[in-house]
């Protein structure tokens, strides 16, 4: 079946937000290609109507403009691609990435030999947004590696491809709950968990923490800044004093507002990670 492919240029710090809104608009997959400080974001729709894909893309870009992340919508190119081209296209954008001696991410088609004691999360190219190579996901993975202790209960809010929840299990977490408001994302995350032979994740469709029961020792939220701000006041119900909150999905200009909201909610910011203009903050309640 053919794929409808949209692509457009954005500044590098905006790429993951652009990929996320495409996924939320119904894209079956996304990719990001960084060249000379600018990123081409692509969205892939399988067996979809061209007019509908264009309308969904325009609406997604309008969300970024409304959020103040883009001054105007960039020009969009729409083409078609057959299945084989789709699979080969994914492969050129995704290679193994080592985040620490304890954690690496690798595509399913490429052999990777882990270091002794290193956990490897395997992802399939056609499955989802979130390969771990972008600044927000990379910051969360490094923070997770640094702050997760064996047996800790973990909640991944806005799980997307499930990469953070899967990494948490492989790093020794106990109970893991992964929630997303998109049932397609949950289906994709379950598929990725199956590829990794991980069965200990409770995947749920839901809105933030509405249908989640704590307590958790660590909560992850790799989502957009307005959603992180909406999530912070909800944390006390499931994150006890001493619990760790790892948040990302926002750019440098939004960091101060997130930091202030965390402080006002009784959190102490312990650590920050920055990559390609994206920030991840680690705080303790």
- 145, 231 contact by CB (below 8 A): no
Domain 126-284: top CATH class: alpha beta
Rounded-to-integer distance, Cα 179 and Cα 212, Å: 8
Q: For 208-214, what is the mean pLDDT?
A: 89
Q: Which pLDDT score, from 0 to 100, does residue 89 have?
A: 58
List the beta bridge partners of residue 8.
41
| pLDDT of 66 higher than 70 | yes
Give me the residue spans of the domains in the chain: 3-91, 126-284
* Percent of the chain whose predicted confidence (pLDDT) is above 70: 89
Q: Which residues contact 12 (CB under 8 A, 6 or more apart)?
A: 34, 37, 38, 39, 276, 277
Tokens of 77: 């190119």
Q: Minimum mean pLDDT among 186-200, 208-222, 240-254: which range?
A: 186-200
In this prediction the pTM is: 0.71
Instruction: Check pLDDT > 70 for residue 65.
Output: yes
What gap in Å lies between CA 112 and CA 91, rounded to an integer?
15
Q: Which CATH class is domain 3-91?
A: alpha beta
What is the arithmetic mean of pLDDT over 249-278?
91
User: Residue 240 contacts by C-beta under 8 Å, 6 or more apart in sequence?
Assistant: 214, 215, 285
pLDDT tens for 167-196 read: 999 999 999 999 998 787 788 889 889 988
Greatest mean pLDDT among 2-6, 48-52, 74-78, 264-268 lies in 264-268
The CA angle 133-29-136, to the nearest 5 degrees, is 30
Token pair in block for residue 201: 């994740």
**pLDDT tens column, 105-132:** 887 777 778 888 888 888 764 444 455 5
Task: Check residue 146 and give its pLDDT.
Answer: 92
For residues 225 and 270, the model is more confident at 270
Record the tokens describing residue 176, joined without a space: 């893991």
Q: Please compute the mean of the pLDDT values over residues 256-275 and round it to a whole number.
A: 94
């Amino acid at each position: 079946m053919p794929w409808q492919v949209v692509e457009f240029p954005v500044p590098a710090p905006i790429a993951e937000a652009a990929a996320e809104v495409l996924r939320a608009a119904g894209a079956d997959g996304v990719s990001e290609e960084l060249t000379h400080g600018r990123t081409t974001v692509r969205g892939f729709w399988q067996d979809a109507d061209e007019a509908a894909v264009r309308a969904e893309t325009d609406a997604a870009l309008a969300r970024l403009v409304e959020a103040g992340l883009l001054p105007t919508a960039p020009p969009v190119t729409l083409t078609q691609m057959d299945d084989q081209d789709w699979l080969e296209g994914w492969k050129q954008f995704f290679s193994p990435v080592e985040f620490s001696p304890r954690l690496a991410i690798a595509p399913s088609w490429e052999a990777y030999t882990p270091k002794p004691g290193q956990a490897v999360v395997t992802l399939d190219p056609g499955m989802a947004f979130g390969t771990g190579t972008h600044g927000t996901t990379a910051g969360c993975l490094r923070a997770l590696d640094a702050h997760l202790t064996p047996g800790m209960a973990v909640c991944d809010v806005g799980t997307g491809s499930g990469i953070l929840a899967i990494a948490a299990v492989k790093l020794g977490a106990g109970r893991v709950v992964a929630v997303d408001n998109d049932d397609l994302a949950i289906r994709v995350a379950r598929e990725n968990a199956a590829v990794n032979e991980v069965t200990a994740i409770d995947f749920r469709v839901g809105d933030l923490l509405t249908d989640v029961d704590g307590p958790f020792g660590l909560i992850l939220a790799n989502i957009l800044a307005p959603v992180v701000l909406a999530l912070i006041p909800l944390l006390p119900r499931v994150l006890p004093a001493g619990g760790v909150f790892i948040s990302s999905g926002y750019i440098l200009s939004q960091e101060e507002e997130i930091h202030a909201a965390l402080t006002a909610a009784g959190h102490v910011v312990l650590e920050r990670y920055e990559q390609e203009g994206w920030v991840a903050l680690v705080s303790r309640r």
